[in-house]
């Protein structure tokens, strides 16, 4: 199944005093993939940026840089995208193999692209690989269990055993804290899933993007009620990545628009920057609308 979405992602920064200059960088442009086509994309800055450019990082993601030199007390960054998304997946003969055979390493056949995946087995700045992760993972990854079954089980356990609680964590929350408190948001659950994969020698990456939500029966879709989202993906021999979402207990499908992927959140934040101001207070408001076309 294929879906087309018009996505509006608006971030508004408000300051208690004048800002003389703002520098910003972020991952706002959906990336083209074998299952996703970017038909249109634009980033609008208000006040207008004096300098603006894009570049491609080491993982193939497009990041946007801007510099606003006009004085302001409010800065609005709007990303506008039109994207066509197919259902994701991998050949059954790969997803049904024992999970141990999906560990990248020297025993992979020549030309298998395993070298690309090796980096995603290592710890990263925000994802520790600890014994607690390994213990948690091995409850799902029992000997010779088919990979897709093990991934589904891990996804379901995180979904049922952890509580989604906005504000219970921060960007810098570590894996041991998550294992202890068992609360967090989508970023945390993606980090935990990736930590579990890496703890048993599998390659896992962090994925950021958008999830199209469906209104309750009898209710109209609320414009701007969607949000940026995060999920995880596991590497499979042959260069496939199987994406799964522990926050919503499911594999990624045509409802998931991929913006960027990396080792963890620090590699692909939607926006970050530096401002020059005497303002003592600031406020950020984010609105995302994923509208089916």
Q: Closest Cα to residue 54, out of 24, 78, 82, 74?
A: 24
Identify which of 28-32, 105-109, 164-168 has the greatest average pLDDT. Answer: 28-32
Beta bridge partners, 72, equal 19
Same domain, 153 and 196: yes
Kindly state whether residues 70 and 91 are assigned to the same domain. Answer: no
Give CA torsion, residues 17, 22, 26, 29, to 10 deg. Answer: 100
Same domain, yes or no: 189 and 64:
no
Is residue 284 located within the same domain as residue 187?
no
Q: Coil, helix or strand for 14? A: strand
Assess whether 190 and 68 both reside in one domain.
no
Does the pLDDT of residue 222 top 80, yes or no?
no
Q: Are residues 224 and 249 in contact, defined by beta-carbon separation less than 8 angstroms?
A: no
Answer yes or no: do 261 and 283 share one domain: no
* Residues 145 and 54 grouped into a single domain: no
Domain extent, residue 125, equals 87-267
Does 237 lie in the same domain as 126? yes
Q: Mean pLDDT over residues 114-120, rounded?
A: 85
Total count of domains within the chain: 2
**How does pLDDT run across 226-260, given as a tens digit for each residue?**
779 999 999 998 888 999 999 999 999 999 999 99
Are 247 and 120 in a shared domain? yes
**Mean pLDDT for all residues in the chain:** 91
Joined together, the tokens standing for residue 248 give: 């919503």
Residue 105 predicted with pLDDT over 80: no
CATH code at position 249: 3.10.620.30
For the purposes of burial, counting CB atoms within 10 Å of the CB of 69, is it exposed (0-12), middle (13-18) or buried (19 or more)?
A: middle
Tokens (6 digits) for 282: 């600031």
pLDDT band at 92 (very low <50, low <70, confident <90, very high): confident
Q: Which residue has the tokens 């589904």?
A: 152
Residues 91, 211 within the same domain: yes
Whole-number pLDDT of residue 56: 97
Q: What is the 3-state secondary structure (H, E, C) of 25-94?
A: EECCCCCCECCEEEEEEEEEEECCCCEEEEEECCCCCEEEEEEECCCEEEEEEEEEEEEEEECCCCCHHH
Task: Report the phi/psi class of residue 244: left, alpha or beta, with left for phi > 0 and alpha for psi in -120 to 50.
Answer: beta
Q: Could you tell me if 259 and 168 lie in one domain?
A: yes
Q: Which residues, in sequence order, are bridge partners of residue 244?
A: 232, 251
pLDDT for res 224: 44
Asked if residue 196 and residue 131 are part of one domain, the reply reads: yes
pTM here?
A: 0.93
The CATH number assigned to the domain holding 32 equals 2.60.40.2250
DSSP state, residue 101: G
């Amino acid at each position: 199944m294929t879906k087309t979405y018009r996505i509006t992602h608006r971030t508004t920064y408000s300051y208690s005093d004048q800002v003389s200059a703002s520098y910003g960088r972020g991952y706002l442009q959906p990336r083209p993939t074998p299952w996703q086509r970017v038909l249109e994309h634009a980033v609008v800055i208000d006040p207008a940026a004096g300098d603006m450019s894009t570049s491609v990082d080491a993982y193939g993601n497009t990041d946007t840089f801007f510099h606003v030199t006009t004085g302001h007390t409010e800065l609005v960054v709007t990303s506008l995208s039109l994207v066509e998304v197919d259902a994701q997946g991998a050949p059954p003969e790969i997803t049904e193999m024992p999970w141990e055979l999906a560990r990248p390493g020297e025993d992979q056949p020549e030309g298998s692209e395993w070298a690309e995946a090796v980096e995603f087995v290592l710890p990263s700045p925000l994802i520790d690989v600890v014994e607690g992760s390994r213990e948690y993972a091995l409850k799902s990854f029992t000997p010779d269990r088919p990979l897709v079954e093990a991934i589904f089980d891990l996804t379901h356990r995180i979904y049922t055993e952890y509580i989604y609680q906005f504000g219970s964590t921060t960007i810098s929350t570590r894996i041991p804290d998550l294992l202890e408190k068992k609360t967090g948001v989508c970023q945390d659950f993606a980090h935990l899933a990736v930590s579990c994969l890496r703890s048993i020698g599998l390659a896992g990456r962090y994925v950021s993007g958008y999830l199209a939500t469906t209104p309750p029966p009898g209710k109209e879709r609320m414009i701007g009620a969607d949000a940026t989202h995060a999920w995880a993906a596991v590497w499979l021999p042959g260069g496939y990545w199987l994406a799964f979402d522990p926050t919503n207990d499911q594999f990624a499908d045509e409802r998931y628009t991929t913006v960027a992927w990396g080792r963890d959140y620090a590699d692909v934040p939607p926006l970050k920057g530096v401002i020059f101001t005497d303002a003592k207070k600031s406020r950020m408001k984010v609105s995302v609308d994923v509208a089916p076309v």
